[in-house]
Amino acid sequence: MKTIIVACGAGVATSTLICDRVQKLLTSQNIQANIIQCTLGDISRYVDQANVIVTSMKVDRSYSIPIVLGISFITGVGVEQTEKEIIESLS
C-alpha cells in the first residue's frame, strides 16, 4: 500500500485541509493509501516509509521521494496540476 506524508508548519490546520483533499482524490481514483499527517520537522521520521510528501510550505531539505506543494488545495488555484503530480508520484 502507498503512503503519503502531509506536512505543514504546525501539523494541524493546513495539513488537515490538505489531508481531506488528498483523501478525496484517492477515493475518486480508487487508490488505497495511508496518510501520515505531521509537521515539516517530523518528515524525516516517516520518509523511509512514504512514497510522496505533500506540503503547504516550501521544503528546504531534499528527500529521496517526490515533494508536491499542496498549497493549491488551500487557495483553489492549480488544484488539477497538484492532483496530477500526486497521482503520478504514486504510480
Which pLDDT band, with edges at 50, 70 and 90, does 77 fall under? very high
Total-model pTM = 0.93
pLDDT tens-digit map of 4-49? 999 998 767 888 999 999 999 999 999 999 999 999 999 999 999 9
The C-alpha cell that represents 48 in the structure block: 523511509
> How many C-beta neighbours within 10 Å does residue 63 have?
15
pLDDT tens-digit map of 38-54? 999 999 999 999 999 99
8 a catalytic residue: yes
Q: How far is CA 76 from the centre of its chain?
A: 16
Phi, psi at residue 7, to the nearest 5°? Answer: -130, 145
The C-alpha cell that represents 34 in the structure block: 495511508
Predicted local confidence at residue 11, as pLDDT: 64
Among 5, 8, 22, 43, which one carries the catalytic annotation?
A: 8
